Amino acid sequence: MKKNRLEAFSDGVLAIIITIMVLDLKPPTDTVGLAGLKEVLPVFLSYVLSFIYVGIYWNNHHHMFHTAEYVTGGILWANLHSLFWLSLFPFTTAWVGENHLAPVPTGVYGFVLLMAAIAYYILQRVIIASQGSGSLLAAAVGKDCKGRISPVLYLIAIPLAFVSVWISIGLYVFVALMWLVPDRRIERVLPKPEEE
């Protein structure tokens, strides 16, 4: 099985996830003064954070499948499983945005981040297993510090939402910033374009 349709389908799903989140940004009821802007601010900020997260996942997905040549049935399902948790982002984003400081939505937001991270980790393992020894992806990922620390930080952030939602949100933002640093690991092990 070639990987192009899996990539096209994943691109489609991620493009829709990242875009339909904006449907929860509803025109504010107050339009006379600038109060309308303040009204949409929490939803806007949760949209920004989720947009960055989906961007990171698309970016990493792009890099990861760059190392794969063929896909197996196992990869197809591990990929769908990963997309499933990402598809819940619009729901948790809307919930957090509409109820600014409530602990339950903040915790659920973190839980979906956690499950998406675990699903991505499983997908990575399934691809590495399919590549056998000498896997390009295994070499690229190495010790995978970021991939190991992120779920731990989500696990800490979830119960802390019931202490202070700001700590949880701060941790979510911190993990996003950690990933925003471009992941050069895969670019490093790949042959240069000229050599391809």
Integer Cα distance of 137 and 190 in angstroms: 9
With CA atoms as reference, report the closest residue to 111 among 126, 96, 127. Answer: 96
Q: Give me 88's structure tokens.
A: 């819940």
Among 46, 49, 50, 90, binds a second copy (CB under 8 A): 90
Among the listed ranges 70-78, 118-126, 131-139, 147-155, the one in contact with a second copy (CB under 8 A) is: 70-78
Q: Does 22 bind a second copy (CB under 8 A)?
A: yes
5 burial class (0-12, 13-18, 19+ CB within 10 angstroms)?
exposed
N- to C-terminal Cα separation, the chain: 21
Whichever of 12 and 159 has its CB closer to a second copy, that residue is 12
* Chain positions contacting a second copy, by CB under 8 A: 1-2, 5-9, 11-20, 22-23, 25-28, 31-34, 36-37, 48, 51, 55, 58-59, 62-63, 66, 69-70, 73-74, 76-77, 80, 83-84, 87-88, 90-91, 94-95, 98-99, 102, 104-105, 108, 180, 182-184, 187, 193
